[in-house]
Amino acid sequence: MKRIFHERRQAFLASCLKYSRYVLNDHFVLVLLVLLGFLSLQYRQLLENFPQPVWPVYLLLLAVSILLFFAGSAATYLEEPDQHFLLTKEGEILELIQQAIRRQFVLWGLVQSLGQLLFLPLYLKLGLPVWGFGLYLLVLTAGKYSLIQAKWSSYTKNGIFQWGLAIDRERKRQQSILQFFALFTRVKGITSSVKRRSYLDGLLKMVAKRSEKTWDYLYLRAFLRSGDFWGLTIRLFTLSLVALLTIDLAWLAVGLVLLFDYLLLFQLLALYGVYDYQYLNYLYPIEQTRRTKGFLRVLRGILYSVLGIQSILALFLLEEKMYLGILILGGFILNQFYLAIKAKKLID
């Protein structure tokens, strides 16, 4: 059993390492360095000009503590067939899960401690002594251990191991990691979910019910009901708005917004193949060229809608209107020219 799960762990870590080179490319590393320098400068200014009243600092530390406290989950590497083929080895499986839980406590306990140490100057500014910070860190560590044990106890009910629950949690853990890598490149092994959002059905009525608009309707419907594309768009769009609202440096805020728009465009290109599994679409009495045109119309509609809201917000937030022009021009180049180039390569 140890060898089987060790091979699974090594295979998953190898795939993550393979995808990480697409994440840590030259451009993204450069953006991260700039962002790190900006955050360091803001942190220093915060310490030198401590706000009065101090309740925003308390809220910041509370939010950080909550995020670090609940972060992390045990990597069990259980798979769907295990509940049938490894049922006779349940005792060994439970021992391996206990080892995974101990690794989780060590890893995420260390992450929590290091994360809190980054904010030690703020705690000291608030008047907390070093021994008080150490005691607070000890309480958080003990609380995290109790939380991890509580999660482990939920795997068993009336002395019976809940295979389905443990497998589902491991699947969600791996999917969350793969979905992060999917922001930067194509990733194998991601499962998608479909959910009808009735409150968005009105948008489908905007597409004329004509044969030349068939693919427009299908792609818009897939976008609105897909758990991946819709959720990804909302997350990246929200991050772009947060960048505009929270970053004072106009050039950095606009640069991050354009970066998020680029990531959104890159990921939405996968929408083109969402119906490839359905071979009946090749029987439609519609030229395949209309599929490409419908795909580009839907994608540009989404991207220009996002750009429009960002531009309206930037109009009120950016003092230097030159950067508003850069945002609009950069978005236009991405949506009009870069999208056409990438779509042609994808379809060819």
133 and 162 co-located in one domain: yes
Both ends of the chain: CA-CA distance in Å? 46
221 and 315 co-located in one domain: yes
122 and 205 co-located in one domain: no
CA atoms of 108 and 105, how far apart (whole Å): 5
Q: What is the signed CA dihedral for 140, 141, 146, 151, rounded to 10 degrees?
A: 100
Residue 139: per-residue pLDDT: 93
Residue 308: per-residue pLDDT: 92
265 and 310 co-located in one domain: yes
137 and 7 co-located in one domain: yes
Residue 196: per-residue pLDDT: 64
Instruction: Name, in order, each residue with C-beta under 8 angstroms of 271's C-beta and a sequence gap of 6 or more.
Output: 219, 222, 223, 229, 295, 298, 299
C-alpha distances out from residue 181 to 32, 73, 222, 273, Å: 16, 18, 22, 19
ω before 285 within 30° of 0 (cis)?
no
pLDDT, tens digit (0-9, with 9 covering 90-100), for 64-92: 899 988 888 888 888 888 888 888 888 88
161 and 220 co-located in one domain: no
CA atoms of 242 and 183, how far apart (whole Å): 18
33 and 107 co-located in one domain: yes
- Quick check: 149 and 97 in contact, CB under 8 A? no
Query: Domain range holding 265?
Result: 198-347
Residue 26: per-residue pLDDT: 67
Residue 192: per-residue pLDDT: 59
Residue 27: per-residue pLDDT: 67
pLDDT, tens digit (0-9, with 9 covering 90-100), for 231-287: 778 888 888 888 888 777 788 888 888 988 888 888 888 888 777 777 776 667 677
Residue 191: per-residue pLDDT: 62
What value does the mean pLDDT take over residues 135-141?
92
Last residue within a domain, chosen from 151, 181, 211: 181
202 and 168 co-located in one domain: no
Q: How many domains does one find in the chain? A: 2
SS3 category, 75? coil
SS3 category, 160? strand
173: enclosing H helix or E strand = helix 163-181
| DSSP H helical ranges for 182-227 | 201-204, 214-225
What value does the mean pLDDT take over residues 302-328?
87
- Could you tell me if residue 189 is inside a domain? no
Last residue within a domain, chosen from 125, 151, 181: 181
39 and 126 co-located in one domain: yes
Residue 114: per-residue pLDDT: 92
CA atoms of 144 and 142, how far apart (whole Å): 5
153 and 205 co-located in one domain: no
124 and 204 co-located in one domain: no
CA atoms of 275 and 298, how far apart (whole Å): 15
CA atoms of 67 and 82, how far apart (whole Å): 32
Neighbouring C-alpha atoms within 13 Å toward the C-beta of 98:
8
- Could you tell me if residue 192 is inside a domain? no
34 and 120 co-located in one domain: yes
- Could you tell me if residue 187 is inside a domain? no
Select from 134, 103, 102, 128 the least CA-distant residue to 116: 134
Residue 110: per-residue pLDDT: 92
pLDDT, tens digit (0-9, with 9 covering 90-100), for 173-225: 888 888 777 766 767 766 655 566 665 666 766 776 776 677 777 888 888 77
Query: In this model, does residue 161 exceed pLDDT 70?
Result: yes
- Could you tell me if residue 190 is inside a domain? no
Last residue within a domain, chosen from 154, 181, 208: 181
